[in-house]
Structure 1
């Protein structure tokens, strides 16, 4: 299955805003001041001016660290450095200009502690440092959303490695988990046919940060009545950066639990490997394109998830080991429980040939098979179909592996493989118009036990695969204009 969404937005992928007023030292508003907002990582500049009452606003700002400058005739140049912008954040950055020459510059360091005063929304930021350093079982990044205020969850300790199996059962302020909305760079991730699932499960190493919006958030996020989880893919900068990683879990690291030990069951097989790597930086051609490394940037993350997990150990009754037939030999059948049904010679009066064979073997139709001295019943080899004998010994009917001699415990492996490709491109057309696009693709090969669409009885050695691959893709170009 291939799902592609091409969704132009009128608001930016990170949807952060910086607003404020420009005033002189007496408090009078300064109109027509030139405002520049520079991304320290990319060198990209957003330009605007204060209006007739000295107010300015820069919308659709991407996450990162910025420098804000303001100039006006008759005033010294104002510079504020170290402004940290997070996803879906609204910042107030007021500017006070001093009378003097523009050749002189007043530099102010932004406050490290920022208080949300622009909106009344209740939200929780999961910073890039938290995304990178906090452990999640199975690396399901949505588990970090449970750290927010007013959030409760019934997430499984391990929910698998793809979007279909990973749990998203998180509730905000008591609302339904199926009413939550997941956004990736502004694009909706919800799988509308799955009741609260998401289309792709982004790699934890590809996410820069995300914000959980619990209540009172702006109408921009009005497509769900629950919480909104908005995530942002990492982007490239003027310097090349990359990493290679491997996450591993293995049966050898785990102890068997008490109940398995008491039942004589071994540890279910569990092997998880998640190797991957990423790189980001400028796209440029020396002496030809983007020589200043301020226009086009890329980020690429590739991850492989390989999970081999034994199903929960299940107990089944099967045929006793002595009762499996052997080609060319009589079967000495042993009832596996007291008062078991005694095997009888088939009575087929309409089949004269078969009845003659039974009589020739000394059998009486409708009566029990001959009883041996050891209490077993002898079934002649001539009465056993060779195809049935071959199938019984093919492994489709497992032999007992418990001490009682007639039960079988199984934990068949369920291999699941995922390959995820994630690419993001950022391009500055000019100081007031920029373009962003990302592509995320999960190629999934799952295996299920018990099989999907099973009947009332499941053979303990049978698993079901899903082929061809289940594929989900998401593409989003975002075009926004400065104020």
Structure 2
């Protein structure tokens, strides 16, 4: 069982691995800088706000911003109110958004809708790709392993063990990808800014399942000085949090041999399909912390929790098969995230994550026969004389060879 407790204060100078930065310059219609303007950034989903004042050079900045969609509002006496809707900030981004204010009277507002973030990120030289929640939820995943989507990033090549890995947590194979020619199993994985790589084997300690993952970014080159402990890429995962509305989901993913056709060689040898049962089920729930007549956490305090369990039955005949234990094995993941806004633009973010497995399956070689099933019996590992020495010569007839050489007995598994 693995558990991690993370407490983060956004007012402290944390590395930007799990956040974003928004900055820019304010000018008027003539191109002159506008100082002393009040800039308000509001997270649409939670209603939480942050404010900044433009400097003498017209510069404003919002560091350490949680990835999400925001509304940006700029106010300055003598200028019309400027509102930019749906400013998208993604994990690890440094977005430069320069704004031009127009002269206007009191009550006049200029609203711009649509994604206001530029298509080309000019605030950072790093190379990478962001995989958002819609992609994570829409694409099929064998075993619901979020790490399989790392392969969508340009410059990433995968190994066979990576492509067949069905578990993201605790599996070395889930890190077996190469970025821009670097060594595989040499990549850094971070969840909400916390390193999740177990030293020694470079395996994942814990990776949130798809329903608990908001998005992640794979940075393959041009890494900033804040990153280390990596010989390849850096994967930054961000977990979901609650919003001002209560939301919940229930899911069940089923894999069953009843939905599969029989294989070619099974049909050729008149064999039935091997039994296979794989059920993954769970749910999510999140929203504001609300206690009737006691506390209303709307715009202030939020929670999000997720649970994921799986039941796996015996996989059928295989050279290297999984052996079933006495009871049905299962694995479980869960996480709980709480946020609370403090004065002076401080945010407390507490997250708990856990992973547990009981009676998990082990591997065994089903085609490894014992000595008594082989032709030489217990002498298999002993030094014996060659029984065919001197029997054959260059003139020996083929019939003598066929009668002397005897095949090993076969065994049906």
TM-score range, shorter chain: 0.7 to 0.9
Partners of 2:345 and 2:35 in 1: CA distance = 20
Q: 2:105 aligns with which of 92, 97, 101?
A: 101
Q: Is 2:187 the counterpart of 1:180?
A: yes
Q: Is 2:132 the counterpart of 1:127?
A: yes
Give 2:96's aligned residue.
Answer: 92
Partners of 1:45 and 1:223 in 2: CA distance = 35
> Structure 2 regions of 5+ residues with no counterpart?
373-413
Give 2:289's aligned residue.
Answer: 283
The alignment partner of 2:291 has SS state of coil
CA shift at 1:308, angstroms?
Answer: 1.9
Q: 1:23 aligns with which of 22, 27, 31?
A: 27
CA shift at 1:221, angstroms?
Answer: 2.5
Give 2:410's aligned residue.
Answer: none
Larger Rg: 1
Q: 1:62 to 1:104 in 2, by over 3 A?
A: same
Give 2:338's aligned residue.
Answer: 425
What is the TM-score of this pair, normalised by structure 2?
Answer: 0.79
Give 1:68's aligned residue.
Answer: 72
**Residue pairs, 1:389-404, within 5 angstroms:** none
Give 2:144's aligned residue.
Answer: 139
Q: Deviations over 1:66-113 (max 9, x none)?
A: 111111232222211111111111211112122233432222224466
Q: Is the 8 A contact 2:3 2:355 kept in 1?
A: no
Q: 1:277 to 1:61 in 2, by over 3 A?
A: same
Partners of 2:285 and 2:24 in 1: CA distance = 36
> Structure 1 regions of 5+ residues with no counterpart?
316-409, 460-483
Give 1:448's aligned residue.
Answer: 362
Query: Which one has more relative contact order, counting CA pairs under 8 Å at least 6 apart?
Result: 1
CA shift at 1:132, angstroms?
Answer: 0.9
Q: Deviations over 1:417-440 (max 9, x none)?
A: 111111111211135211212111
What is the TM-score of this pair, normalised by structure 1?
Answer: 0.69
Partners of 1:185 and 1:106 in 2: CA distance = 36
CA shift at 1:284, angstroms?
Answer: 2.3
The alignment partner of 1:142 has SS state of helix
Q: 1:240 aligns with which of 225, 239, 246?
A: 246
Q: Tell me the number of residue pairs that the alignment of Structure 1 and Structure 2 aligns.
A: 361
Q: Is the 8 A contact 2:38 2:53 kept in 1?
A: yes
Q: Deviations over 1:165-208 (max 9, x none)?
A: 46331110011122211111111111224x22101232111111
RMSD: 2.8
Give 2:156's aligned residue.
Answer: 151
Q: Is 2:177 the counterpart of 1:170?
A: yes
Q: 1:152 to 1:2 in 2, by over 3 A?
A: closer
Partners of 2:322 and 2:196 in 1: CA distance = 34
Q: Deviations over 1:298-334 (max 9, x none)?
A: 111111111223265349xxxxxxxxxxxxxxxxxxx
